[in-house]
Amino acid sequence: MILLTLAGVVVLVAGAGLALLLDRRPKWASFAGAGMAMLGCAAVFAASFRMLIGGDAEAIRWPWSMPLGAFSVALDPLSAFFLLPIAALTGLAALYGAEYLQSWTGRKSLGMAWFWYNLLAAAMILAVIARNGLLFLAAWEMMALASFFLVAFEDEQERVREAAWTYFIATHLGTAFVVALFALLAAQTGTLDFDAFGPISAPTSGLLFILAVIGFGAKAGFVPLHVWLPEAHPAAPSHVSAVMSGVMIKTGIYALLRMMTLLGEPQPWWGWTLIAIGLASGVLGALFALAQHDLKRLLAYCSVENIGIIALGLGLGVLGYTARSPLLAILGFGGALLHVLNHAIFKGLLFLAAGAVAHGAGTREMDRLGGLLKRMPWTGAAFAVGAAAICGLPPLNGFVSEYLVFFGGFLGGVSISGHFATAGFLAVAALALIGGLALAAFTKAFGIIFLGEARTEAAGRAHEPGMAMRFPICLLAGACLLIGFFAPVTVLLLARPIAAILPMGEHAVDGYLLAMAAQLRWFVLLAAVLAALLAALALLRSGLLAGRSVTERGTWDCGYARPTARMQYTASSFAQPLVDLFRAVLRTRRSLDAPQGTLPTKSASLSTATGDTFTHKLFRPAFGGVTRLMERMRGVQHGRVQLYVLYVALTLVALLVWRLGVARP
Amino acid sequence: MSASWLFIILLAIPTAGAAACLAARTPAAALWTVFAGVVLHATTALSAARRVLALGPMASNGEWFLLDALSAWHLIVMALVFVPASFYAITYFRDETASGALSLRLARRFGALWFGALGAMTLVLISNNLGILWVGIEATTLLTAFLICLHRSPTSLEAMWKYLIICSVGVAFAFMGTLFVAASASRTLEPGDALLWTKLLDVAGSLDRVMLEVGFIFLLVGYGTKAGLAPMHTWLPDAHSQAPAPVSALFSGFLLNSALYCVLRYLPILERATDYSGWAPRLLVVFGLISILISAAFIIFQHDLKRLLAYHSVEHIGIITLGFGLGGLGVFAALFHTLNHSLCKTLAFFSAGRLGQVYGTHDMSRISGALRAAPLWGLGLFASLLALIGVAPFAIFMSEFQIAKAAVDDAAYVPLALFLLGGGVVFIGALRHVVLMAWGAPPDGTRPERACSCEWLLVWLPLLALLGLGLWMPHSLYDALSQASAIVGGHP
Amino acid sequence: MSAWIDGVLVTLILTNLAVLGSSRLNACIRIIALQGVVLGLLPILVGEGAPTIRMTLLTAATMGLKGAVFPWLLLRALRVAGIRREVEPFIGYNWSVLAGLLSLAASVWLGGRLPMPETARSSLVGPVALFMIFCGLFVIVSRRKAITQILGYIIMENGAYAFGVVLLEEIPVLVELGILMDAFVAVFVMGVAIYHIQREFDHVDVDQLDTLKG
Amino acid sequence: MIEPRHAAPLLALALAPLMTGIINRTKAFFAGRQGPPLLQAYFDLWKLLRKGAVYSRATTWVFRAGPMVGVATGAAALLIVPLGGEPALLAFPGDILLLAGLLALARFFIIAAALDTGSAFEGMGASREAQFSALAEPALLLSLAALARLTGGLSLSDLFRDITPAAWVENGPALALAAAALVIVFLAENARIPVDDPNTHLELTMIHEVMVLDHGGPDFAYVLYGAALKLWVLGALVIGVLVPWRGPNPWANLAAVVAGLFVLSVAVGVVESCMARLRLLRVPQLLTVAGVFAALAIILLRR
């Protein structure tokens, strides 16, 4: 299986090269790039799926002529579980991208775009299967570099350049921590091979854990390291946003999990750290998502929220492990893992749909859209499914994974004592609040964009994209339903990855998961009941209405004579009550141009914008402080040669005095 | 070929070349002579280096000259800088020779001085006598000073004067340091041998420690001035920004390294004399970190492209020094980094020079859309700057990682943190500059660039080399680096 | 002989103080020429017994270069470039002399902590060499004109040279000549540079060469 | 044999609209009016089911789906909510979360249906509904979590089985706090005073009623019936805590709960008669108070 995975990587790299070579012929470049991407991803998907349902873990180790380096890769259930969404979503997004990028033919180098896309895919896969620190770092940085160039696809826009810059800085600073992490690990164990990392004693392992949380958290989008997400994801082409938001940030989660398996005995405070991060990321992510007007920004913040849910799951898992409660550990880790998969599916779906909207209607500004469901029925319906799934509504897939974490919290709160219970209740409260806020955010996104009437002419002329774009969207929507309805089967897939994380036998994990599957069977039953009820009600309704007058009119609107589309509730007005309630955190800026006089002649306007509080209140001031300090330092280079010589002289004298005067042996 | 003859040939080629340049009839002929001479010299140097790496060090009669793995490694780097830079000079000056801005007199002067620099640096690398070593470094200062103001302008004269004064003062310190080291051996060595590196190394254990350490302070400050270590680096941005691009590339690519090489020669003596107490390496760590941090501050606020690159040189010399100071894997990594940095920085200066010609300025606020205005050189600048700030999979990332690893091995956590901090600040600052320069739309009225096919090689060869070295280290390279770092480490 | 060497070293100190206190460039150049001649005596004084050919050669070269060629070059540069004769210091003459005395004290303190080898002909040489280096640096830092910076450089060079000659019995003559040659070329190159600067800017006030910064 | 847990859902389907009738009669009594008959809700439903429909041109299938999802989720919730100590028809660990999920699902579609009309009024109602339910959800789950902590039950049926008079004696304050939180959630989720005023349709201050302005005919019947089911379901939770009657005869227990629900309806009517609706800006505070009550209950139970 590992060979098949590597073959996939080779195909991807070859696709990258081919796309670059064919750059002069955009059609061929697209064809080769997207085709090879799909082919490579299909191979990886097959390999990882085979692995998950019962293949043996395989490893390859080839020498790599680089000090400390070895080309050591392995496919174990944990890697396979992360490869599954990576391969699936990247392949589907490639198909989508083939059509999506067509409109740039001639204006942009499509060969370049596909080159980086395939490299990104290859790097993600390599990062997940790497078992050597240096190889991992190389893949990790390659991933950052490739996505950096993909984000900057439309580099003629200043906003995009800013976003690419911010993104690359964030990810590279994260890498600095990862470098420190691996350097420390290597110093502890004398090698960079993952297999050789022994258990590490307590204070050091804590330091390593912190480094891993910061380094990988920057990629995953933990608050407050998430600031690049809402910039970079909207800037990238939609299929790239889907891949970045759906799976690339998950490599951060993967790496964190992998490190945790290598660091030895976890401490309770690790779990608390993750829970705190999960709380902050989940709630703030949802709140910021709610306040956005740009659909892709909303989705980007929502990724922060979902990463928060994953972190909550991981935290509960760690606490469960330290509390010697296997069920809690399995629920936590299992929920987090399943949410990784689910989030990849629905976030991929939503970003692709957002791309279709931007493609069809020419804008992502929610307040300039509306009524798209009538013009884009497929995309709209799929978006509705994705929105419901991401809010964690039954019977869709989002509910299943959130349920596992939720139930873990409940279980921890009810049946374990001490601070574990507090963590459980915190998780329950947080998940409930996150769910409510996400619901508000996504009813807003779906309602304002797809329902009601078109707010602009462009939105009125929107159209469905072609098959290549529609197919992946619909397939992902299907996956949301499928996983939801087959939840009892899906959770069993988690057994092997969880067994790779927890020091428990596969059978023991299987036993617990079978119990969970039994619970989930009730949900399926209820979902079936729900479906049957809906069908019955629909039949009843159509039976009642048959033969009676069913007419269509304008919206009643409480008797207003001439309602216009612009009188509809807007995205900002929909979110206003919650945004106002949380204004202390959100710091939404309003600019009001109020009407003047009794009979206003000039048109008035009100606009709101919610930037990122962490960008504005934490990173800008911090960087600003450093900047000012450095600016002061610049005075050193003032142009006077005498003083330059003085520096040299003073350095010498200082050293001489130190050596002869102070440090005399 | 006996060793003595080899050394004579290595020194004779530049001398003859300089004479030939002075006799050239046209500017183009002078430039081509330079290229031919440099290629000849490089071939000789590389074959010599190969022999040394395979068979062990060679010394001349009387041991005034010595070629061991460390100098062989630097010879290789030197060849890899000089050959492309000489070729680049031809393309760079093409317009100027056509328009007559580069007169025959100037071209001859350029050629002769270029050869002079080559000869002086060769002298530095092959001398076993620390006095000759010093003479070589002083000679590079004096010979390259007029390369800076090849085109005379107020600013280039200013830069040249600063370079001359500051480096002369520095090199005078180095002279003093050399004398101290020789004096430390007055009890153990014959007076005539007191300046021979091999002899000093042999008896290092019995040298006078205080004299030696004071000498090292003088040497470090002195050669460090020439190498561009902060706070003695002040001449560097001025000189780099005012010199013509090939000269800047040469300065950044090897002049600094040749000065640092001199410090390296003393490192094993110091280590042996002080029982490997790490006294001298610690000083290197301090200077390396100061260089990294100070350059970071200047990179963030830079507005001149070539000054930006100059500060990058300060940063990277700092990183290399840090690596040497950390010892162990750090030495290996630092030597590797020397090669990577030289490859990368010459490319960066090549691109900056040609972009300067395209845009008519080095002011970064007026350079935008380089990838559109001059695809080849825009790519060169973009890629080389990305590599310089440590983006994987370029080789610089690997050597920097190894240095970080060396820091942890050494339990030098504060230096590691400062190194990563400085690297982070540089990354932020430089990335901003390069993003603004490379992307976007070029300003109106930009002259489109004509890149000839041979220029492709100038950009792609170093890039592919950096990429290749980042992913795969050939065994011969590993071997060479190991041999060279064993010499610096000083363990018998 | 040691007393003679000490005498020479004291002369060196005095000449330095004189440079610090003098207000005319010509005077400074002449004092430094004197310093060069005195320096030239050192190799002969250091050598034991009859002067060898090597000693004579070095003495002649040193005296010739430092006592005659350098001053001639500098005075010519002064004349050709039409440089004004005032030294124009940032720090006044009296203060300069005071600073010189302070640095003398510092050099004695630092030099006293250096373990001089037995071969050294005079224990004074360490402090004097350091003092000359500090003095040279002080002249470079505290004076406005480019030409005074050359003077400062020569003083530093002289200090190092004195140190070498007194401390080390025997450096291969080729190396010493190379070193002398370098010093000569350095002064020559700087002289040429001053000439160009004067032509380009109409002054040699390095204080005003501050376009390049940041 | 028919057990109470089989009969309970059917009972709920039949009796749910009666609660509205009781509330309205109570309010009429307090206002000194005769008021509509107790069965008025049934009459309304019957009338609406026989009517045709008028749809806005702006609407899509979402608009039509909203009311159906409302009824379907309500009916499905009846299957898992126990009446008093008697277990529900379906009882399994984690059904608490499913109940919250079902409520959220209904909310999603009702909000979407409201937005589908493109009317500013319905948009406003939807916006408020989203806000208040986001705040009510943590309160609901936390209070249920408090009860779970108290009883150790992981399913609703286990949980309510163990809320007995003995439990009240032992943990009275905690139970009272949880019950108070549940009551607030009950009032908020069912659009009753002091959160919302179900009597007016056209005021700018409305939430629920304004969301269904454009529904008519069978769709509106569904809306009303769905609301009634929700009232029943959430009421059953409140009564489950407040009426800890766990006698030996299951039918008697069931009767006690149904009676309790009717008393609850009376109480709601009383509250609506004596209180004014809160200012909208106060509502979040009320819901936060509910959350705080639930959290306090948990803290009391932690010990």
Contact C140 A664 (CB under 8 A): no
Q: Report yes or no on A457 lying in a domain.
A: yes
In a domain, residue A563? The reply is: no
Could you tell me if C213 lies within 8 Å of chain A, comparing CB atoms? yes
Which residues in C lie closer than 8 A to residue B176 (C-beta atoms)? 129, 133, 159-160, 163
> Which residue out of B60, B134, B186, B236 would a mutagenesis test of the C interface target, given it has the greatest number of C Cβ atoms within 10 Å?
B186
Q: Which residue ranges make up each domain of chain C? A: 2-206
- Domain-located, residue A573: no
CB contact under 8 A, B169 and C140: yes
- Which residues of chain A are within 8 Å of residue C209 when distances are taken between CB atoms? 639, 641
Q: For an interface test with B, give the residue of C134, C153, C212 to mutate (most B CBs within 10 A).
A: C212
Q: Are residues A638 and A519 located together in one domain of the fold?
A: no
DSSP H or E segment with residue A70: strand A70-75
User: If you average pLDDT over residues D151-164, what whole number do you get?
Assistant: 89
Is the Cβ pair B402, A68 closer than 8 Å? yes
* Contact criterion met (CB < 8 Å) for A433 and D115: no
Give the domain range for residue A180.
1-200+224-263
Q: What is the DSSP letter of B268?
A: H
Q: Rounded distance, CA D130 to CA A547, Å?
A: 37
**C210 inside 8 A of chain A by CB:** yes
Window 225-284 of A: residues touching D by CB (8 A cutoff) are none
Question: Which tokens hold the place of A50?
Answer: 């085979």
* Nearest chain C residue (CA) to A646: C141
Tell me which of A235, A263, A291 is where a domain ends.
Answer: A263
A-chain residue closest to C207, CA distance:
A640
* CB-CB neighbors (< 8 A) of A645 in chain C: 137, 140-141
Confidence of residue C119 (pLDDT cuts 50, 70, 90): low
Torsion on CA atoms D286, D287, D289, D295, rounded to nearest 10: 170
Cβ of residue A86 closer than 8 Å to a chain D Cβ: no
Q: What is the b/e burial string over A90-125, where b = at least 16 CB atoms within 10 angstroms of the residue's CB? A: bbbbbbbbbbbbbeeeeebbbbbbbbbbbbbbbbbb
**Chain D neighbors of A569, CB-CB under 8 A:** 115, 120, 122-124, 126-127
CA–CA gap between residue D236 and residue D232 (Å, rounded): 6
pLDDT at residue D203 in the model: 57
CA–CA min distance A272, chain B (Å): 26
One-letter identity of residue A559: G
Query: Mutate which of A331, A391, A410 to disrupt the D interface (most D C-beta within 10 Å)?
Result: A410
Are A56 and A171 in the same domain? yes
Tell me whether residue A568 is in a domain.
no
Check CB contact under 8 Å for B431 and A631.
no
Both tokens of residue A27? 């059609």
Residues A239 and A343 in one domain: no
Q: Report CB contact under 8 Å: C213, A661.
A: no
**Closest alpha carbon to B346 in B309, B374, B318, B300:** B309
**A525 with A640, same domain?**
no
Q: Are B318 and B290 in contact (CB under 8 A)?
A: yes
Cβ-contact B212, B177 below 8 angstroms: no
Task: State which residue of chain A sits closest to B167, comparing Cα positions.
Answer: A645
Residues of B in contact with C149 (CB under 8 A): 165
Spell out which residues of chain B touch residue A144, defining contact as CB-CB under 8 Å.
Answer: 391
Chain C nearest-CA residue for A665: C113
In this predicted structure, what is the pLDDT of residue D118? 87
**Across the interface, do A645 and C141 touch by the CB < 8 Å criterion?**
yes
From A516, which residue of chain D is nearest by alpha-carbon distance? Answer: D93
Residue A1 — pLDDT band, cuts 50, 70, 90?
A: confident
pLDDT at A328 > cutoff 80 = yes
The structural domains of chain B, with segments of one domain joined by +, span 1-128, 130-139+146-277, 285-492
* 3-class secondary structure, D155: coil
| Subunits with 3+ C-beta pairs closer than 8 A to D | A
* From C109, C140, C211, residue closest to A642, measured CB to CB: C140
State the chains in contact with C (3 or more Cβ–Cβ pairs under 8 Å).
A, B
| CA–CA gap between residue B287 and residue B303 (Å, rounded) | 26
The answer to whether A656 faces chain D, any CB pair under 8 Å, is: no
How far A381 CA sits from the closest chain D CA (Å)? 9
Residues A285 and A381 in one domain: yes
Take residue A493 and report the two structure tokens written for it: 């897939």
Please report the pLDDT score of residue C169 as a whole number.
65
Suggest the residue from D13, D90, D105, D279 to mutate for an interface test with chain A (most A CBs closer than 10 A): D105
Rounded CA-CA distance B88/B98 in Å is: 16
Among residues A504, A538, A572, which one ends one of the domains?
A538
Query: Which residues of chain C neighbour A660 with C-beta distances below 8 Å?
Result: 110, 113-114
Interface predicted TM-score (ipTM) of this complex, two decimals: 0.90
Count up the domains in chain A and report the number.
3
Q: B416 vs A169: CB contact, 8 Å cut-off?
A: no
Both A325 and A394 in one domain: the answer is yes
Which of A500, A523, A538 marks a domain boundary? A538
Q: Which residue, among B162, B165, B171, B190, would best test binding to C if mutated, counting the most C CBs under 10 Å from its CB?
A: B165
Using the structure block, give the residue that is written with the tokens 């004291």.
Answer: C10
Residue A520 lies in a domain: yes
Tell me if A645 and C113 make a contact (CB, 8 A cut-off).
no
CB contacts of B152 in chain C (<8 Å) are: 196, 200
Q: How many helices and strands in chain B, by DSSP H and E?
A: 21, 2
User: What is the rounded CA–CA span in Å between residue A340 and residue A342?
Assistant: 6
C98 in contact with A at a CB cutoff of 8 Å?
A: no
State the DSSP H helix or E strand holding residue C55, giving kind and residue range, or none if neither.
helix C53-62
Same domain, A273 and A175: no
Tell me whether chains B and D touch (3+ CB pairs under 8 A).
Answer: no
Q: How confident is the model at residue D182 (pLDDT cuts 50, 70, 90)?
A: very high
In a domain, A400, yes or no: yes
The answer for A 313-372 residues in CB contact with D (under 8 A) is 370-371
* pLDDT number for residue C1: 60
Q: What is the pLDDT along chain B (492 residues), one digit of tens a residue?
A: 578 889 999 999 999 999 999 999 999 999 999 999 999 999 999 999 999 999 989 988 778 899 999 999 999 999 999 999 999 999 999 888 888 888 899 999 999 999 999 999 999 999 999 989 999 999 999 999 999 988 888 899 999 999 999 999 999 999 999 999 988 888 888 777 888 999 999 998 888 889 999 999 999 999 999 999 989 999 999 999 999 999 999 999 999 999 999 999 999 999 999 988 889 999 999 999 999 999 998 998 888 999 999 999 999 999 999 999 998 899 999 999 999 999 999 999 999 999 998 898 999 999 999 998 888 999 999 999 999 999 888 999 999 999 999 999 888 899 999 999 999 999 999 999 999 999 988 888 777 776 777 888 999 999 999 999 998 899 999 999 999 999 998 876
Between chains, do B393 and A183 touch, taking CB under 8 Å as contact? no
Taking a contact as any Cβ pair under 8 Å apart, which residues of chain A between 599 and 638 contact chain C? 634, 637-638
Strand A58-63 and strand A70-75: the pairing is antiparallel
Residues of C in contact with B138 (CB under 8 A): 182, 186
Interface test with C, best of B133, B179, B233, B307 (most C CBs within 10 A): B179
- Which chain C residue is nearest to residue B145, measuring alpha carbons? C189
pLDDT over 80 at A81, yes or no: yes
Residue A508 has pLDDT above 70, yes or no: yes
- Pair A271, A390 in one domain: yes
DSSP secondary structure string, A257-319? HHHHHHS-SPPHHHHHHHHHHHHHHHHHHHHHHHH-SBHHHHHHHHHHHHHHHHHHHHHHHHH
Question: Averaged over A630-650, what is the pLDDT?
Answer: 88
Does some domain include residue A164?
yes
Q: Which residues of B touch C168 (CB under 8 A)?
A: 179, 182-183, 186, 191, 194
